Amino acid sequence: MLPNRRYTAKRLNKARETLEQDLEAHMNAWRVHVRSEIADWKKDIEMSRLRLQIAVTCMETTAAINHTFSERLRPHFTGLNQMIGRFIDVVAQSEMESENPTDRLRKEGTALLQTIRETALPTLIDTFIRFDPLQDFEKYSTRIGNAVEQVSNTHIIFQSRHFSELMPKSKTENIPLKELITEDILSKSIPAFQSFSGNIRERFQHILRRAGEIDQIVEFNLNATLGLLHEVPIPSETPDSGQQATRDAFGRAVNQIEVLSQELDQLLADINRDLPGKAGWLMGEIQTLADNQAIISLKMRLTEAKSREKLRSLHRRLWKQASNRLSTAKEKCYHFFRTIRNSYLLLRKISGLAETSERNEAELSLFLSETQQRMGRLPAIYRALFQSEPLSDSRLFTGRVKETQRFQEKIGTWREGHPIAVALIGEKGSGKTSFINMLAAQSMESERIVRLELDDTIIEEGELIKMVAEAFACPHALKWEQLTDAVEAGDGNFVCVVENIHNLFVRTLDGFSVLESFLLFASNTLHRIFWLVSCTYYDWRYLDRIVSISKYFNGIIELGALSREETTDIILTRHRLSGFTISYEKPTDTRQHRKLKKLPSDADRQAFLQRQFFDQLTEHSAGNIRVAMNFWLSAITETAGDQLRISAAQTGISTSLHQLEPEELFALAALIQHDRINRANFARIFNLPPDDSIRMLNQMKARGILLREGDAYVIHHFLYRPVVRMLKAKNIL
């Protein structure tokens, strides 16, 4: 029997209640612990599933891209090379059979070109577009995003585990795991992947553009070979010379296709290396989330990052305010030091410490002579691509997108019945005629077009009326009124293109009458004629001050300076048609050498040198196409087989331009405005006796500043940009 005082019913009931409460507490603690363990296992399973999905997605994407490259794209390049190889063999066989090699070359070349343009090239381009491997990148990114979306929003993880005692004392925490993956891991992975895919896309599109030029490469080399054989007929005793010319020309085309095929292979190799690497990094980062302490650290890191971002935002706002004030101070310092520099240069000139004009003129003549000789040694086939003649083939035309859109708006307004007159203005060499040719082929192909090319200065009104009357098929018209009546009596509307309208005036008191009468005629016929005229930029500014020429036009399109990208595209598009390869020489600048040494491969170093070169070319040419092409040709220092070596051309034209006499400076300004001037008009503009006019022009020609073209004088094309800069600096232009 138990003592009644210690084991009463009341005490027993209380003890039982205590035991039941302890048991319930233990059971609740174990329930929470087990649920947390299950949630932790679920988290690990979800992370493993996510890593597996990333691995499978990467493998399937890589396999799809490899199949596309190997089975869809590469065979086209092989087929093109085989096609050109068979063509070379057929031409060589015709020479052995005593058939006229030039005729056979023309016949077989035309057939080859037709096959490439009608069958091979459209199929290749269509395959590139239909089986674009970059679409697989988009699917890869989408699948990774969908896999992350399947992750639960929140997970329970252990902060600590203590279950060595009967009642576990583990601590847990709710973690927004999906948000952590999105904000930390994906926020790092996405920009890197976008940069990678953007680089692949750019390289792939570059190959696609180059592939679209294959027919032009073949056509150019065919025409160039026919031209060489026509100039230098093949002797019957040495037929191998014709075979060699054909092999050389079309061998370069084959090499160009091989280069594209190699670039495609390298692109595939980079994808096979980098895509699994990026997927592996992503999987590794997700693997770290198996460690709960790492998750907690990640959460704390993101919280700190958000705080830092607020501080950075405040810093940016304060820095912006400070930089605005600093820029104002910088501008004032720049003007101050420029004034000191100009004063120093003036003092050197007054004191006689500056270089003598004789030495500068000798350096200028030597530079021009050596540059001309170096360009003359380039292959004729290559020089033909960079002739300054206007383009007639729109395939070589690049850029000018905004200008084209503006013109299309204007001609659309004219087609709706509104009178329109458009002026196209730009520097000499900015591509005005090429732009007009492109517009005629693409935007005015359905219109009846009359073209007037004013290549020489016209100062007699009767001469201009005769020219316009012949263009309008009104040979009996002798006055502007008769021409106006003939236009009004004609059938339908049409477009009239007048090139070089600046050749209708000379800078004399009575030198504007011809231009003004023509402008009046154009304004009287606006309801029947869409007028498109071209004028040099500096002439337009001058004429607008003198005769307010802009009031006659309700559309003015300025061909401004081309961007670096547009200039690069123009030069390299022409270069690629030649089939030659290029190698950029290392600069002499020590700082550039250090940058080159840090680059990992020759391809990276060449890409760096190419960017440096075109930065210099764009700065020198100021976006002028003709100046840019001359700069490119003058920068070619050596031709070794099919490779051209490029070095930065000399841009420091001698300071002799700044030491010209005032009358010579104004002569250059007149030449910039009139483009070309003969002796009579030169004497008329400056009110000089004929002998003095001839003497000044011949002296400037002898010093290399001017060139003689027929009976007219023009500024040397190498000096055009330096002369413009110098005249602007002296406030003459």
Percent of the chain with pLDDT over 90: 5
Which of 539, 548, 499, 504 lies closest to 671 in space, CA to CA?
539
One CATH from 3.30.1480.10, 2.40.128.630, 3.90.380.10, 1.10.10.10 for 660-729: 1.10.10.10
Furthest CA-CA distance within the chain: 152
Distance CA 142, CA 186 (A): 13
pLDDT of residue 253 exceeding 90, the answer is: no
Q: Which CATH class is domain 400-558?
A: alpha beta
Distance CA 502, CA 499 (A): 9
Task: Give the dihedral of Cα atoms 243, 247, 250, 253; nearest 10 deg.
Answer: 180
For residue 523, the tally of other CB atoms under 10 A from its CB is 14
Structure token pair of residue 592 = 């550039």
For residue 119, the tally of other CB atoms under 10 A from its CB is 11
Beta carbons of 714 and 676 less than 8 angstroms apart: yes
pLDDT of residue 2 exceeding 60, the answer is: no
pLDDT recorded at residue 551: 92
Pairing of strands 643-646, 636-640: antiparallel
pLDDT recorded at residue 234: 47
The domain locations on the chain are: 21-290, 298-354, 400-558, 660-729
Structure token pair of residue 108 = 């077989």
Average pLDDT over residues 417-432: 88
Highest mean pLDDT among 176-180, 532-536, 714-718: 532-536
pLDDT recorded at residue 714: 86
Classify the phi-psi angles of 515: left when phi > 0, otherwise alpha if psi is within -120 to 50, otherwise beta.
alpha
pLDDT of residue 172 exceeding 90, the answer is: no
Beta carbons of 496 and 532 less than 8 angstroms apart: yes
Angle formed by the axes of helices 625-634 and 720-729, nearest 10°: 120
Beta carbons of 81 and 257 less than 8 angstroms apart: yes
Beta carbons of 442 and 394 less than 8 angstroms apart: yes
pLDDT of residue 237 exceeding 50, the answer is: no
Summarised one tens digit per residue, pLDDT across range 56-67 is 999 998 988 888
Summarised one tens digit per residue, pLDDT across range 532-581 is 999 988 889 989 998 899 999 988 999 888 888 888 888 888 887 777 78
Which of 677, 410, 407 lies closest to 539 in space, CA to CA?
677
* pTM of the entire predicted model: 0.61
Average pLDDT over residues 505-531: 89
pLDDT of residue 387 exceeding 60, the answer is: yes
Average pLDDT over residues 585-608: 75
pLDDT recorded at residue 238: 46
Highest mean pLDDT among 103-107, 248-252, 521-525, 575-579: 521-525
Mean pLDDT of the chain: 78
Distance of CA 572 to CAs 252, 430, 649, Å? 16, 17, 17
